[in-house]
């Protein structure tokens, strides 16, 4: 009887700090050994010429989520996680979205039930807070954090879900006290509303004006304000979807000054520009997301910021809406840009797009690809069994054929939107076999996973979540005079 259920032989193992050639042995759900000349397994896979990579971790996806307006997005846990698996992603973090008037504990139970029913990959939730009542801050959030939900999402813009600065500070304090990471959509709400109103009043309502309605300065101002609030409380913050060069520079400055900011960007900001919105009629709606795509110079700046470590991960911000009255055009077929649903599908395309640019295209390389798409997000979000090929880790393994070509098209998307903004783009390098905890969930391009076979991941406090230990002068002053905040 063999000690191993499966041995993947002679592949190149991708690792954040130095990829290497080795066999990978799996016993049950776990990676049992990594090395040369391992003893035979019950099943053997020859992987010469292939890459053996950790399954992707996508830490920002909107799955089966209901908007403040009551609109359900285009994906169930089943369709979204099928798309994830096809694209080589085996862990997702989606949202338990509290809207005003809802109890956080009930919202969380509701999303947990949906995921238990449908998820095919492993998952965790960000606790999205829109109504930080005393009960939410004092009871529901601390209980959820203690149970292993170790991240909170806040919006500083969008009517009906945005928090003001005082509420955001409250969240930072709860996260600091109980051990969680606050993630934020940071844009200046007033600037966006003001620009949008002026554009619409002047009759500029086509999708192309969405770009101008989210001023670059709205991002920079909000990042700097978030940095100040993070410093005041001494609580780390993850800034979601950085889109501008100036935004990345603001993060670099704050980090240089000792503020514990983390940050991500997304493929839409690395591969698209505001010109993608500039199409005839309503076609630009296919490409609308918030913040909007920017300029070619921003793409270069964001790649540079990833390379420098100012940004630590690339997520999809998968926000799926169909191109019909149930999604993008719920505000009517000729709605102004203000009334077109914002968000792009990208769970399936994230890894192939990045692999093509970073590995096939001679960019930053395989180690950086593994770090940004799996190892870093697993470490930041408190998922110690995910994000790397090493003994003791969950056997989440994606076998990549680095030479396999694929053309994205609306006809071959797996998620529930029925389209991809990358239609027509060819990439080189695709996953050909995906294991989730040792079980093949994609094989030869076919999905094998059962709905509900994904597992919820209780998370631990990661080093990224811990305060810097340098209290702000103001908090220190209060403490000096005996105040405990
Ligand atoms: Zn998002």
pLDDT digits (tens, 9 = 90+) for 243-297: 999 999 999 999 999 999 999 999 999 999 999 999 999 999 999 999 999 999 9
Please state, in angstroms and as integers, the Cα–Cα distance from residue 339 to each residue in 140, 203, 276, 285, 311, following that order: 33, 14, 19, 10, 31
Picking from 226-240, 295-309, 360-374, 470-484, which range would have the lowest pLDDT averaged per residue? 470-484
Q: How far is the CA of 317 from the centre of ligand 1 (A)?
A: 5
> In angstroms, what is the span from residue 239 Cα to ligand 1's centroid?
11
Which among 467, 482, 453 is positioned nearest to 116, based on CA atoms?
453
Q: What global pTM score does this model have?
A: 0.97
> What is the 481 CA–ligand 1 centroid distance (Å)?
41
| pLDDT tens digits, 392-403 | 999 999 999 999
Q: How far is the CA of 344 from the centre of ligand 1 (A)?
A: 9
Output the CA 155–ligand 1 centroid distance in Å.
10
How would you class 107 by CB atoms within 10 Å of its CB: exposed for 0-12, middle for 13-18, buried for 19 or more?
buried
Given a cut of 90, whether residue 71 has pLDDT beyond it is: no
CA of 17 to the centre of ligand 1 (A): 29
Instruction: Tell me what pLDDT residue 28 has.
Output: 98
Q: Rounded to the nearest whole angstrom, what is the distance from the C-alpha of residue 80 to the centroid of ligand 1? A: 14
Cα–ligand 1 centroid distance for 266 (angstroms)? 10
At residue 110, the pLDDT reads 97
How far apart are the CA of 25 and the centre of ligand 1, in A?
Answer: 36
Going from the Cα of 182 to the center of ligand 1, the distance in angstroms, rounded, reads: 14
CB 431 within 8 A of CB 443: no
pLDDT score for 68: 82
Mean pLDDT computed over 94-112: 97
Q: How far is the CA of 62 from the centre of ligand 1 (A)?
A: 6
Q: How far is the CA of 325 from the centre of ligand 1 (A)?
A: 21
Distance (angstroms) between ligand 1 centre and the Cα of 291 equals: 10
**Cα 372 to averaged position of ligand 1 atoms, centre (Å):** 18
Report CA(124)–ligand 1 centroid distance (Å): 15
Res. 446 pLDDT band, cuts 50 70 90:
very high
Q: 395 C-alpha vs ligand 1 centroid, how far in Å?
A: 28
C-beta separation of 288 from 347 below 8 A:
no
Q: Please tell me the distance between residue 40's alpha carbon and the centre of ligand 1 in angstroms.
A: 44
d(CA 227, CA 206): 34
Q: How far is the CA of 167 from the centre of ligand 1 (A)?
A: 20
Q: Is the Cβ–Cβ distance between 60 and 265 less than 8 Å?
A: no
Return the pLDDT at 135. 98
- Confidence at 150, pLDDT banded by 50, 70, 90: very high
Q: How far is the CA of 257 from the centre of ligand 1 (A)?
A: 27
Least confident span in 70-74, 122-126, 161-165: 70-74
CA of 24 to the centre of ligand 1 (A): 35
pLDDT band for position 469 (cuts 50, 70, 90) = very high
Beta carbons within 10 angstroms of residue 1's beta carbon? 3
Going from the Cα of 364 to the center of ligand 1, the distance in angstroms, rounded, reads 26
Q: Which two tokens stand for residue 300?
A: 């270069």
* Closest to 312 measured CA to CA, from 242, 247, 257: 242
CA 11 – ligand 1 centroid, Å: 35
**How many Å lie between the centroid of ligand 1 and the Cα of residue 313?**
14
Q: Cα of 334 to ligand 1 centre, how many Å? A: 25
Question: Can you tell me the mean pLDDT for 435-463?
Answer: 97
Q: How far is the CA of 254 from the centre of ligand 1 (A)?
A: 23
Q: What is the structure's pLDDT at 67?
A: 86
Cα 474 to averaged position of ligand 1 atoms, centre (Å): 33
User: At a CB cut-off of 8 Å and minimum separation 6, what does 156 contact?
Assistant: 162, 163, 168, 184, 185, 186, 187, 188, 189, 222, 225, 226
C-alpha distance from residue 15 to each of 23, 326, 393 (Å): 14, 42, 13
Ligand 1 center to 240 CA (angstroms): 8
**Ligand 1 centroid to residue 61 C-alpha, Å:** 6
444 pLDDT band, cuts 50/70/90, is: confident
Ligand 1 mean position to 9 CA, how many Å? 38
pLDDT at 484: 82
Peptide bond just before 291 cis, omega within 30 deg: yes
Q: Which whole number is the average pLDDT over 81-98?
A: 98
Q: Is the pLDDT of residue 1 over 80?
A: no
Minimal CA–CA distance to 158: which of 212, 206, 214?
Answer: 214
Q: How far is the CA of 94 from the centre of ligand 1 (A)?
A: 9
């Amino acid at each position: 009887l063999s000690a191993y259920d499966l041995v993947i032989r002679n592949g190149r193992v991708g690792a954040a700090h130095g990829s290497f050639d080795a066999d990978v042995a799996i016993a049950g759900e776990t990676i049992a050994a990594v090395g040369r000349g391992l003893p035979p397994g019950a099943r053997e896979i020859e992987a010469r010429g292939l890459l053996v990579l950790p399954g992707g971790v996508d830490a920002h996806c909107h799955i089966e989520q209901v908007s403040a307006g009551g609109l359900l997005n285009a994906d169930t846990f089943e369709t979204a996680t099928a798309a994830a698996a096809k694209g080589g992603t085996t862990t997702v973090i989606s949202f338990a979205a509290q809207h005003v008037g809802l109890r956080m504990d009930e919202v969380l139970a509701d999303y947990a039930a949906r995921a238990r029913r449908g998820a095919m990959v492993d998952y965790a939730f960000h606790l999205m807070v829109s109504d930080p009542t005393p009960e939410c801050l004092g009871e529901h959030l601390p209980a959820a954090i203690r149970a292993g939900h170790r991240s909170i999402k806040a919006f500083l813009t969008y009517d009906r879900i945005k928090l003001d600065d005082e509420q955001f500070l409250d969240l930072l304090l709860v996260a600091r006290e109980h051990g969680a990471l606050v993630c934020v959509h940071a844009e200046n709400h007033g600037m966006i509303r003001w620009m949008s109103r002026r554009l619409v009043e002047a009759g500029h309502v086509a999708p192309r004006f969405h770009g101008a309605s989210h001023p670059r300065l709205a991002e920079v101002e909000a990042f700097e304000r978030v940095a100040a609030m993070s410093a005041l409380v001494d609580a780390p913050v993850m800034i979601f979807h950085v889109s501008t060069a100036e935004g990345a520079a603001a993060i670099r400055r704050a980090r240089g000054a000792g503020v514990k900011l983390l940050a991500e960007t997304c493929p839409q900001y690395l591969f698209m520009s505001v010109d993608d919105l500039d199409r005839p009629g309503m076609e630009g709606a296919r490409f609308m997301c918030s913040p909007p795509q920017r300029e070619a110079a921003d793409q270069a700046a964001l790649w540079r910021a990833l390379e420098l470590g100012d940004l630590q991960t690339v997520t999809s911000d998968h926000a799926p809406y169909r191109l019909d009255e149930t999604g993008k055009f719920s505000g009517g077929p000729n709605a102004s840009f203000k009334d077109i649903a914002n968000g792009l599908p990208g769970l399936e395309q994230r890894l192939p797009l990045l692999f093509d640019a970073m590995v096939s295209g001679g960019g930053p390389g395989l180690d950086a690809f593994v770090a940004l798409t799996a190892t870093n997000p697993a470490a930041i979000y408190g998922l110690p069994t995910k994000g790397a090929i090493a003994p003791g880790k969950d056997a989440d393994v994606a076998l990549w054929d680095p030479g396999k070509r694929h053309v994205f098209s609306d006809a071959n998307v797996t998620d529930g939107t029925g389209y991809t903004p990358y239609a027509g783009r060819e990439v080189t390098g695709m996953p050909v076999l995906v294991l989730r905890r040792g079980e093949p969930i994609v094989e030869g391009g076919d999905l094998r996973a059962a709905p509900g076979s994904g597992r919820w991941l209780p998370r631990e406090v990661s080093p990224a979540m811990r305060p810097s230990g340098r209290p702000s002068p103001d908090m220190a002053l209060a403490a000096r005079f005996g105040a405990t905040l």
